[in-house]
Amino acid sequence: MRGTDTQLLIDEPPLQVLPSLAARIGLNEALVLQQLHYWLNKSKNVRDDRRWFYNSIEDWRVQFPFWSASTIRRTFTSLEKRGLVHSDKYNSSAWDQRKWYTINYEELRRLSRTALRMVS
CATH of the domain at 111: 1.10.10.10
In a domain, residue 41? The reply is: yes
pLDDT of the residue at 120 = 39
Residue 33 lies in a domain: yes
Residue ranges of the chain whose pLDDT lies below 50: 1-2, 119-120
User: Number of structural domains, the chain?
Assistant: 1
Query: Is 31 within a domain?
Result: yes
Nearest-10 Cα torsion for 88, 90, 93, 95? -20
Beta-carbon contacts of 91 under 8 Å, excluding residues fewer than 6 positions away, are 54, 97, 98, 100
The pLDDT of residue 66: 96
The reply to whether 11 falls in a domain is no
- Looking at the domain assignment, is residue 38 inside a domain? yes
Q: Helix (H, G, I), strand (E, B), or coil: what is residue 46?
A: strand
Of 89, 95, 35, the closest CA to residue 67 belongs to: 35
pLDDT of residue 114: 73
Domain that holds residue 93: 19-119
Could you tell me the pTM of the whole model?
Answer: 0.83
Considering the domain boundaries, does residue 29 fall inside one?
Answer: yes
Burial class (CB in 10 A: 0-12, 13-18, 19+), 38: middle
